[in-house]
């Protein structure tokens, strides 16, 4: 009889312990849910947009991006929804969240092809790539993407107030790409692979003829020709260099190579 009573008591205590455990577990889960789930507060479009704009003015771009997104989420058909999209992308760009900004900009351009802010969206897209450009010794995919965005802006909106700066950055991007080609060409020269070097310099001459890399490309190509014993090809290349950049250090160097030979 005593054994039966002991078993009954143990079972009763176990049941109480389990109930207590589940009550505590439920409280913990409820607290976690309350902590991580933001409280939804419906606001007017004016309130949301002004709060987002003020956060941006104060430099709190992370908060601003979230609030601008909330404008579109709560008021998708308001006149402020499209403006909130582009402002959210701007806030993400200012936060250096370039990938998120690019995704937002692509979405804005796709959904609003006739919007008056498309030129700015293309400009901001170009900046997201442009500000990530690395030195000429590394991959230049970002440079090419920046160039593509700025060129599209200038082509579609030649009178945009952003076109002038876009043109300036196009020149810098082209010069950067030409610099990479020159860097590879010089490396081939050091390895004694003169034909490969000539191909790189020729690419600069034909594709990047408006950049500051052109005179050196002509000189280096003439130098390669001279090393290979192709004197006439070297003379023609030096003539082109003299026509385009007579009196430069590159022409003087190329001319001295020809005279020394």
**CATH number of the domain at 41-111, please?**
1.25.40.10
Tens of pLDDT, residue by residue over 1-44, are: 444 444 344 445 444 444 544 444 455 455 554 444 445 567 78
Domain residue limits, the chain: 41-111, 116-208, 213-261
pLDDT for 156 beyond 80: yes
pLDDT tens digits, 237-252: 988 888 877 677 888 8
**146 phi and psi angles, rounded to 5 deg:** -60, -45
The mean pLDDT value of the chain amounts to 83
Report the predicted TM-score, pTM, of the whole model to 2 decimal places: 0.75
Task: Yes or no: say if 49 and 72 are a contact pair by the CB < 8 Å rule.
Answer: no
Write the pLDDT tens digit of every residue in 207-216.
998 999 999 9
Q: Where are the beta strands (DSSP E) in 7-140?
A: none
Please tell me if the domain spanning 41-111 has the same topology as the one spanning 116-208.
yes
Residue 48: which residues within 8 A CB-CB, separation 6 or more? 67, 70, 71, 74, 75
CATH class, 116-208 region: mainly alpha
């Amino acid at each position: 009889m005593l054994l039966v009573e002991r078993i009954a008591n143990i079972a009763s205590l176990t049941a109480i312990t389990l109930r207590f455990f589940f009550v505590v577990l439920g409280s913990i889960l409820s607290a976690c849910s309350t902590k991580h789930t933001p409280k939804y507060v419906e606001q007017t479009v004016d309130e949301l947009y002004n709060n987002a704009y003020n956060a941006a003015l104060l430099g709190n771009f992370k908060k601003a991006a979230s609030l601008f997104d909330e404008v579109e989420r709560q008021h998708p058909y308001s006149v402020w929804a499209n403006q909130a999209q582009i402002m959210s992308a701007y806030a993400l760009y200012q936060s250096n969240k370039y990938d998120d900004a690019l995704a937002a900009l692509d979405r804005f351009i796709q959904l609003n092809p006739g919007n008056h802010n498309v030129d700015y969206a293309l400009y901001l897209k170009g900046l997201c790539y442009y500000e990530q450009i690395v030195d000429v010794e590394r991959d230049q995919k970002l440079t090419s993407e920046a160039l593509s965005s700025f060129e599209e802006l200038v082509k579609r909106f030649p009178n945009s107030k952003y076109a002038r700066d876009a043109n300036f950055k196009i020149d810098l991007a082209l010069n950067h790409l030409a610099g990479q080609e020159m860097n590879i060409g010089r490396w081939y020269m050091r390895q004694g692979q003169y034909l490969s070097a000539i191909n790189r310099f020729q690419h600069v001459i034909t594709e990047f003829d408006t950049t500051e890399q052109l005179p050196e490309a002509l000189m280096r190509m003439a130098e390669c020709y001279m090393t290979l014993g192709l004197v006439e090809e070297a003379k023609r290349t030096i003539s082109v260099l003299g026509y385009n950049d007579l009196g430069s250090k590159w022409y003087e160097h190329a001319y001295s190579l020809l005279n020394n030979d």
